[in-house]
Chain A
Amino acid sequence: MDKLIIGRYIPGESLIHRMDPRSKLLAMFAFVVIIFLANDVIGYGILAVFTFVGVALSQIKLSYFLKGLRPMLGLILFTVIFQMLFTTGGDVLFQVWILKITTYSVQNAFYIFMRFVLIIFMSTLLTLTTPPLTLADGIETGLAPLKKIKVPVHEIGLMLSISLRFIPTLMDDTTMIMNAQKARGMDFGEGNLVQKVKSVIPILIPLFVSSFRRADDLAIAMESRGYQGGEGRTKYRVLKWHLIDTVLLVSLAVLAAALIAWNTLK
């Protein structure tokens, strides 16, 4: 669990760290859409350059991004290989029985690979440079327009911040309980499937019990500090929109426009 990089935050002082989470979130979504605009090597080249400029600006070692890629590697390879084997059309490069590898399939496999890598790099960049609570703030303010259609935006934001806040605590609890049960002779991940499933019970039950207790305590502590819901609350962490945020969104718009222009010109 400790080795997981995705979803972690690395404190820093870089340009990307100081950006507004709203612009980063928006940019992240926009980027996912833009990726599908690229349909040739040059398009993907431009996107890759864009991504690596972001990675360089974040001043975080490239190796951490590569580590973020690792848990997804199986899925990526799986998809890439299927693309390779089952895309039809184009010149046949190589054939075994009914499986053909054609120029098209190689091309498609390459595109899929690039899409995965770029999306994972970008989302890793987002989580590595944005503290989770700021991210939750960003999502809450981002969802604010939905208040008009009676979506409980404040409650969603609150639940999100509380969940994010308690992820590390629950992870610690899990490790602690696992250690305690191991000290009592429990083996994890050994034996057949039934035994493996059974060995989860001595962890899950204490974990649920402690979560209920925590929720109870937290609710009481919140009420005793005067929390009554979203109405009429002021904000302590106020998000600030900087020039760099505008620059980011504008550059994404330019990127999208350039890709569309390139596609139509071809």
Chain B
Amino acid sequence: MAIHFDKVTYTYQPNTPFESRALFDIDMRISDGSFTALVGHTGSGKSTLLQHLNGLLLPTSGSVTVDDITIKPDSKAKAVKPVRQKVGVVFQFPETQLFDETVLKDVSFGPQNFGVSKSVAEETAREKLRLVGISDDLFDRSPFELSGGQMRRVAIAGILAMNPSVLVLDEPTAGLDPKARIDMMQLFESIHAAGVTTILVTHLMDDVADYADTMFVLEKGRIVKFGKPSELFQDVDFMMAHQLGVPKATQFALLLAARGMQFEKDNLPITRKALIAAITASQEATHG
């Protein structure tokens, strides 16, 4: 499911003293099956852009095309709703959106809103809850009895239960411990591998390097750079200047380079794996 942004601009509270423009002429192509990372400073317009992906915000001008549905400034709510089922958005701290009596009911809320029958919705809910690692004995508990990490998993299952073909994640690992973070990123990786286009909004460049195949850099409501992470992270000065930084592996490679180790030009490693491979290769080269 490809998503196209065509000259999208967005202004908050137009014609009031609080008017502020958040997006300027955004042109963006997210191709089917990609794992796209969206990075940018706080206040760069990431969240605003994210809400355009499923029609929560309508562009002030320009258009967003999701598959065969085009969202324009004057689109009607009815025309936009099908987009919400195709594009599942996991907002930041999604555990705050739980409300129903039991975990199972909460997760089946989404599909039921799109007209799926109760029994089918609950079946999907069970399947997705198991997928995110919630055991069967918790299904009939109140979501408010769970731990923070479990609540987040339930909330994510609630989005997955709609069977979206695009999954949008807004800092899904914020506030999680390191182990839970890795587990969760691997869960998303496996969902992506099953054919779901994934869009990740994050501040963690390591996650971008490890998982994403495309990245967009947003600044002050504009896309200032886009391409493959392995290419963009080569421009270390640019990333530093925009206060985004580079992955830890790249930082370490830079330290090694400063001490005389040779890396192929424009081919600094961005993941740990690539760094290990580069070091091994240079060891072999020197020791023959």
Interface residues of A (CB under 8 A from B): 2-3, 5, 8, 10, 60-61, 64, 67, 173, 176-177, 179-187, 201-203, 205-206, 209-210
Contact partner, A185, options B51, B97, B110, Cβ 8 Å? B110
Complex: chain B residue closest to A201, CB-CB: B99
Taking a contact as CB atoms under 8 Å apart, the answer to whether A177 and B85 are in contact is no
Bound Cα distance from A209 to B143, whole angstroms? 11
Q: How far does the alpha carbon of A206 sit from the alpha carbon of B99 in the complex, in Å?
A: 6
Give per-residue flags for B64-78: 1 if the beta carbon is below 8 A from chain A beta carbons, else 0.
Answer: 000000000000010
| Bound form: Cα–Cα A197–B112 in Å | 18
Query: How far, in angstroms, from A10 to B17 measured CA to CA in the complex?
Result: 8
Which of A179, A187, A202 lies in contact with B81, CB distance below 8 A?
A187
Question: Which residues of chain A have C-beta atoms less than 8 A from B17's C-beta?
Answer: 10, 60-61, 64
**Which one of A64, A203, A206 has the highest number of Cβ atoms from chain B below 10 Å of its Cβ?**
A206
> Is B97 within 8 A of A186, CB to CB?
no
Interface pair A176/B96, CB less than 8 Å apart: yes
With A2-B13, A3-B13, A67-B16 as known contacts, state yes or no: A181 contacts B97, CB within 8 Å: yes
Q: Which of the residues A5, A185, A206 comes within 8 Å of B96, measured between beta carbons? A: A206
The distance in angstroms between the C-alpha atoms of A206 and B110, with both chains bound, is: 16
* Complex contact B16–A180 (CB within 8 A): no
Q: For the complex formed, measure the closest distance between the CB of B166 and the CB atoms of chain A, giving whole angstroms.
A: 12
Contact A184 B159, CB 8 Å, known A2-B18, A67-B16, A179-B56: yes
Q: Are B85 and A185 in contact (CB under 8 A)?
A: yes
- Residues of A near B144 (CB, < 8 A) are 209
Describe A's contact surface by its main secondary structure.
helix
Question: What is the CB-to-nearest-CB distance from A213 to chain B, in angstroms, rounded to a whole number?
Answer: 9
Given contacts A3-B16, A183-B88, contact A205 B99 (CB under 8 A): yes
* Given known A-B contacts A64-B17, A176-B96, A183-B91, A202 and B109 have beta carbons under 8 A apart: yes
Whether the pair B84, A177 counts as a contact (CB closer than 8 A) is: no
A-B contact pairs, 22 of them (CB 8 A): A2-B18, A3-B13, A3-B16, A5-B16, A10-B17, A64-B16, A64-B17, A176-B96, A180-B89, A180-B91, A180-B94, A182-B84, A183-B88, A183-B159, A184-B113, A185-B110, A185-B112, A205-B99, A206-B97, A209-B96, A209-B144, A210-B96
On whether the beta carbons of B96 and A177 are closer than 8 Å, the reply is yes
Quick check: B13 and A179 within 8 Å, CB to CB?
Answer: no
